[in-house]
Structure 1
Amino acid sequence: MWKKLLSKLGVGAAKVDLVLHRPHVRLGEKLEGEFLIEGGTVAQQIRKLEVELQLTVQADGKAYRRTVAVIPVAPAFTIQPGERKVLPFSYVLPLHLPITRHSVRYTFVTRLDIADGADAFDQDAIHILPPLALEKLFQAFAKLGFREKPSSGKISAYGQEFAFFPTDMFRGTVQEVEFFALLEEEGVRLYLEIDVWNGFAGLREKEMKQEMFLRYEELDDVDGTAQALQRAIEEAVQAAQNPSFHMGTTYAPPYTAPHAYDPYHQHHPYHQHHHGGHSMMGAIGGFAAGMLAGMVTEELLEDVVEDALDDHDLGDMLDVGDWFDGDDDII
């Protein structure tokens, strides 16, 4: 009797442990592992075994946690005292998730739902790697001496933005390069913002916008991609220092109310930048539809982005539907 009472309080109850074969995975790939379930001191009825994939976003000094997906594993079963069960686990990462960065983290939370007792939990951090096309783009920036900023990868209202600073050839000329990556059927479309030091304005930076498209086969050649990026950045520098210089392809679409990304219609990102913390913006969209890590919910925007954007009416502007399955919490 005492054993049953204690098991209801979690003492001597069943335990669960998710063991992942590897703690990192690329978007769209399968993550595999197994559940190790161990019975306690008495037989217990398990209502269900499930896993939550939780996203944690750091913004404005706070951590916001959101359930991305709930993954059912096993229906009701009974675990006997001391019994050990091993159940397989596999999960294909959705293509629209943001990738792991300093401000973006993921955790698998395993829950063993025990009838008439305290549930058992297990937590495992996972690292979501960029798709190969984006990784090769990062490598090309590294070839030019650029390094990713600690703030790179943060989620804005319209996507995940990446920021790099120069350490080599553009040092002293370019302050930073920010970009969104739109993955299309034939390649990657980049929306770049290049902050150029303007000596004529007392070493104040001048923001130059540049759009470029790189085919997937071109991205396979990292050296060639680096050269293409170098030309685009050099054009921006020349245009910033010489107003009469014409850049090849720029983008500066007018402000329009944001729309959910439609895979059948290309919505160009627009930019809204304010010195002192506001970020470059891009089009809303899921990675599967083309925009890397862009599809975000109204609720997440209100909680995570609102303070950074100083836009308390942001939720009224959006109509993007539900991306996540669960609720959000401030940690």
Structure 2
Amino acid sequence: MILRKYMALIGIGSAKIDLILENEIYMPGELVKGYFLVKGGTIEQQLKRIECDLVMTMDNNEEKDEEVIDSVTIFTSKLIESDTTNQVPFTFRLPESMHPALSASYRFKSRLSFKQGVESLDHDVIQILAESV
């Protein structure tokens, strides 16, 4: 049991997060709906918060620039039991100012932060369409 606890502290067998979205293609200003799927690891872990950033990546030939457009944080002290699955609802209003661009891509970057242990990360790419005229 002690070995499993220390392995979870360094990220092996710790709880995982997966953002499940209803769609992958959105319009500027649209409401994004889904849920965080939190899967317990080999031991129980005390959750501190769930963070989710909307990130824009610009591909400028030789380098990629990342910009966090907006963030959502859910503070919690929920105990994630080992080998369990939990769902946490997710809604996010995309900014009206978002526009599709050939050199830009958008993604949600989700993180589980624990009282002890390594953060769990997830990335979900979305596509932004131009508004119809």
Place the TM-score, normalised by the shorter chain, in its bin. Answer: over 0.9
Give 1:9 shift. Answer: 0.8
Structure 1 counterpart of 2:110: 110
The one-letter amino acid paired with 1:5 is Y
Matched with 2:38 is 37
Say whether the 8 Å CA contact 1:3–1:12 is kept in structure 2: yes
Q: Distance in 1 between matches of 2:21 and 2:42?
A: 27
Quote the Cα distance in structure 2 between the aligned partners of 1:16 and 1:124: 11
Task: Classify the secondary structure of the residue corresponding to 2:116.
Answer: coil
SS at match of 1:105: strand
What TM-score does the superposition give when structure 2 sets the normalisation length?
A: 0.93
Give the distance between the partners of 1:47 and 1:100, measured in 2 at CA.
Answer: 34
The structure with the greater share of residues assigned to helix is: 1
Distance 1:57 1:4 in 2: 40
Distance across 2 between alignment mates of 1:37 and 1:111: 10
Q: 1:85: which partner in 2?
A: 86
Q: 1:68 aligned to 2:69?
A: yes
- SS across alignment from 1:132: coil
Q: Is the 8 A contact 1:45 1:77 kept in 2?
A: yes
Larger radius of gyration: 1
Query: Would the aligned equivalents of 1:100 and 1:106 in 2 still touch at CA under 8 Å?
Result: no
Q: Is the 8 A contact 1:56 1:104 kept in 2?
A: yes
Gaps of 5+ in 2: none
Which amino acid letter does the alignment assign opposite residue 49 of structure 1?
I
Alignment match, 1:51? 52
Q: Gaps (5+ residues) in structure 1?
A: 134-331
- After superposition, the C-alpha distances for 1:173-223 in whole angstroms (9 at most, x for unaligned) are xxxxxxxxxxxxxxxxxxxxxxxxxxxxxxxxxxxxxxxxxxxxxxxxxxx
Q: Name segments (4+ residues, structure 1) moved above 3 Å.
A: none
| CA–CA separation in structure 2 for the residues paired with 1:59 and 1:69 | 22
What is the alpha-carbon distance in structure 2 between the residues aligned to residue 31 and residue 73 of structure 1?
16
TM-aligned CA deviation for residue 100 of structure 1: 2.6
Please tell me whether residue 96 in structure 1 is matched to residue 114 in structure 2. Answer: no
Q: Secondary structure at the match of 2:7?
A: helix
Which has the larger share of strand?
A: 2
Measured after TM superposition, the shift of residue 106 of structure 1 is: 0.5
Aligned residues: 132
**AA partner of residue 50 (structure 1):** E
The TM-score with structure 1 as length reference comes to: 0.39
The aligned counterpart of 1:166 is none
What is the root-mean-square deviation of aligned Cα atoms in Å?
1.2
Q: Distance in 2 between matches of 1:72 and 1:131?
A: 29
Q: Deviations over 1:207-248 (max 9, x none)?
A: xxxxxxxxxxxxxxxxxxxxxxxxxxxxxxxxxxxxxxxxxx
Give the C-alpha shift of residue 103 in structure 1: 0.1
Deviation at 1:126, TM superposition (A): 0.5
Sequence identity, in percent?
28
- Cα distance in 1, alignment partners of residues 113 and 46 from structure 2: 9
- The offset of 1:56, in angstroms, is 0.5
Aligned equivalent of 1:222: none
Shift of 1:75: 2.3
Amino acid at match of 1:33: G
* Secondary structure, aligned partner of 1:108: strand
